[in-house]
Amino acid sequence: MGQYGARMQARFLAILALLVSVTPAIAQPEHSDLAAPGEIVLPFHLNKEGYPLIAASVNDTSGVFLLDTGDSDRFLLNRNYIPMDTGTPAGGGMTASGQALDLRWHTGHYTAILAGVLSAVASSGDRKNDDASLSVDARQEQEDIDPHFLGWLGWGFLKAYVTTIDYRDHTLRLLPVNSAPRTAHPLGSIVVSFAPSSPVVPFTTIIGQHPTPAILDTAGWDRLALQPSSWAKVMAAHTIRRRPGKDCVTLRTVSVGEQNVDVVDVERAERSMERLTLGIGFLRRFTSTWDPRDGTVTLVPNGTRAPRRGDCS
């Protein structure tokens, strides 16, 4: 190269190093910083069981709400924790486990503030009693989920928004339905129908050529309930793999929204009403957008693995 060429190369490298040192780095903002115009961003955290909880307050009581897409109410309050008036009976109900519910209406004014940024009347949204709050004695959930358990934030609230649940950065993103852009369906995404009601209307999955009703549930673990004869069919199709000592099974090549996926650590049950619940374990593998305008949920893989359960008993 010669001395002149060597000197020019050294000078060029020195200038390049100087430019790099004085040029500010372009920061790549986290996804949670990229709020769209009019978008409300609510952070959530996962408790030890994997339930998504949103910090909130009701009047002067601070605590957490459980994000529950399977609850048709706007809010269902825990009167065992929140000071409330006596209320009037609102009839009964049953939990998914078969536990009786003692529901009560309350006409007092209860305001929820979610994550310190969004204020809303903590009413049920029931058409017959739209402004009244609905409560239940949720002392068991308070013990199991969080000692400061305020209650449930349900689909009755979320249906006013196009809602994105992002498990990568633990954010709930809300865009009002009248101003939200059209929901994108990227290559590789899964699109399923979602018509929440009470009870929730399921969509159809295929497990070993066996059509199985399914629901998405942010507040429950993955679970498969089949009749004994149906269990025999899917076992014969070699789509079920048992996990020794955990009372869990893995479902291999389940057809969900025309895409084939595996579902791991699934609780097995025998029931006359067949149902696949795609819940905490399944949903954490995706960024999901729930669009009430066309009744769909778009699931975009986020590159994470399903959490492992200690057991499924």
* Per-residue pLDDT tens over the stretch 191-217: 998 876 656 789 999 998 999 999 999
Task: Please give the helix or strand (H or E) that residue 224 lies within, else none.
Answer: strand 223-226
Q: Which H or E run contains 100?
A: strand 100-106
CATH, range 190-301: 2.40.70.10
* CATH architecture, domain defined by 40-176: Beta Barrel (2.40)
Q: Which amino acid is at 82?
A: I
Q: How many other β-carbons are positioned within 10 Å of the β-carbon of residue 308?
A: 11
What does each C-alpha distance from 171 to 53, 115, 288 come to in angstroms?
10, 11, 11
What is the rounded distance in angstroms from the CA atom of residue 308 to the CA atom of residue 299?
20
Number of residues that make up the chain: 313
- Write out residues in the chain with pLDDT < 50, as ranges: 1-32, 97
Domain boundaries, the chain: 40-176, 190-301
Rounded to 5°, angle at Cα 199 from 102 and 70: 80
**How much is the pLDDT for 72?**
86
**What's the CA gap between 135 and 133, in Å, rounded?**
7
Same CATH fold assignment for domains 40-176 and 190-301:
yes
- Burial (CB count within 10 angstroms: exposed 0-12, middle 13-18, buried 19+), residue 275: middle
pTM as predicted: 0.84
d(CA 150, CA 265): 29
Among 152, 186, 220, smallest CA distance to 289 is for: 186
| 8 Å CB contact between 92 and 112 | no
At residue 177, the pLDDT reads: 94
Q: Which amino acid is at 306?
A: A
